[in-house]
Amino acid sequence: MKGSAYVGGELDLFAAALNWKRYWSGLLRPMLRGCVLEVGAGLGANAPFLLGDRVHSLLSLEPDPSLAARLKVKRDESRDPRWKVLCGTLAATRAAAAFDAVLYLDVLEHIADDAGELHEAARRLCPGGVLAVLAPAHQWLFSPFDAAVGHHRRYTRSTLAAVVPRGLMPVSLGYLDSAGVALSLANRLLLRRALPTAGNIAFWDARVVPLAARVDPLAGRLFGRSVLGVWRRGTLSGDHVR
């Protein structure tokens, strides 16, 4: 199995964005149970927010060997026997229904063939299992940061739904972080930074994210810097992905 090196340099910065992780994981955790797969797990910063009481196992899949090595150290330090790490892409998992949830958390935008990737991911879902995608929203916000960390695109609700395979039923689809749009737009038009600073991330996480967490549901999650979608595989044995 061949690994692939990750081109971005933002993972350590965003690992400290704990309010952001609490926000989106609070929306996902009620739907997580059984065996969970996180594709492109990076440094493993999401794992503590995913390992809820109903999760029996979490497989962190990471194609970059150096990141996977750091993942294993973090896993060992956690001493949580439910947490497993595998270096590789989705092809490293068996192409058979095995997971109750497959997650792409700020990962799908890095994958050139996003539709093909999600088709394969859906094949790994058990009946009743969920596919969840968190991704940056709106192509008009595409900035030097997106280019620097290897993003192919940003999504809208419609463009994300368009790459989800037929046979999965929508559960929820909406935008997050309405308050952060102004910061992203300022970076695109004014600052044009390839990477934010630690201070930028700290300000956004401490000040902007809590505001967005209050405003987003009031606005019906119709606008935001990120898009979060969840789809479910049918529960009948005859249901299949097309």
Q: Is 238 inside a domain boundary?
A: no
Cβ–Cβ under 8 Å, residues 83 and 51:
yes
Helix axes 209-218, 18-28, angle to 10 degrees: 30
CATH number, domain of 199, equals: 3.40.50.150
Kindly tell me if the per-residue pLDDT of 206 is higher than 80. Answer: yes
Mean pLDDT of 21-42: 97
What radius of gyration do the chain's Cα atoms show? Answer: 17
Domain of residue 128 covers: 11-233
**What is the average pLDDT across 165-174?**
96
Confidence check: pLDDT of 123 > 50:
yes
Please give the pLDDT value at position 6.
61
Q: Is residue 5 a part of any domain in this protein?
A: no
Q: Which amino acid is at 211?
A: L
Structural domain includes residue 241: no
**Average pLDDT of span 83-94:** 93
- Whether 201 is in a domain gets the answer yes
Could you tell me which of 57, 58, 59, 54 has the C-alpha nearest to residue 30? 54
Q: Is residue 29 part of a domain?
A: yes
Q: How many separate domains does the chain show?
A: 1
Q: What gap in Å lies between CA 121 and CA 37, rounded to an integer?
A: 10
Report the pLDDT value the prediction gives residue 174, as an integer from 0 to 100: 98
Domain annotation covers residue 155 = yes
Q: What is the pLDDT of residue 200?
A: 86
Does residue 176 have a pLDDT over 60? yes
Residue 82 within any structural domain of the chain: yes
Whether 189 has a pLDDT exceeding 60, the answer reads no
- Of 19-28, 73-82, 95-104, 165-174, which gets the smallest average pLDDT? 95-104
pLDDT digits (tens, 9 = 90+) for 130-162: 999 999 999 998 988 888 888 999 999 999 999
Percent share of the chain, pLDDT over 90 = 75
State pTM to two decimals.
0.91
Of the pLDDT bands very low, low, confident and very high (cuts 50, 70, 90), residue 242 is low
The pLDDT, as a whole number, for residue 8 is 54
In a domain, 150, yes or no: yes
DSSP 60: E
Q: What is the mean pLDDT of the chain?
A: 90
Q: Tell me the one-letter amino acid at 1.
A: M
Report DSSP state, residue 16: T
Q: In the prediction, which pLDDT does 39 show?
A: 98
